Amino acid sequence: PAVDGSGWGGCANVPDSSAVSTTWHSNDDDVYRAPPIDRSILPTAPRAAREPNIDRSRLPKSPPYTAFLGNLPYDVTEESIKDFFRGLNISAVRLPREPTNPERLKGFGYAEFEDIDSLFQALSLNEESLGNRRIRVDVADQAQDKGECPA
Query: Distance between CA atoms of 94 and 110, rounded to whole angstroms?
Result: 5
Q: What is the pLDDT along the chain (151 residues), one digit of tens a residue?
A: 555 555 555 555 555 555 565 555 555 555 667 777 666 665 555 555 555 567 778 889 889 999 999 999 989 999 999 999 999 999 999 999 999 998 899 999 999 999 999 999 999 999 999 988 999 999 998 754 444 444 4
What 108-112 contacts at long range (C-beta under 8 Å, 24+ apart), as own/partner pairs, is 108/68, 108/69, 108/70, 108/71, 108/72, 109/69, 109/72, 109/76, 109/81, 110/66, 110/67, 110/68, 110/69, 110/140, 110/145, 111/66, 111/67, 111/69, 111/81, 111/85, 112/64, 112/65, 112/66, 112/67
How much is the pLDDT for 5?
56
DSSP 71: S
How much is the pLDDT for 19?
58
How much is the pLDDT for 150?
43
Pick one of 1.20.1440.230, 3.30.70.330, 2.20.28.270, 3.30.420.40 as the CATH number of 64-140. 3.30.70.330
Residue range 50-75, pLDDT digits in tens = 555 677 788 898 899 999 999 999 89
How much is the pLDDT for 48?
53
- What is the value of pTM for the model shown? 0.61
How much is the pLDDT for 142?
73
How much is the pLDDT for 36?
74
Runs of H (alpha helix) within the chain = 78-84, 116-123, 142-145
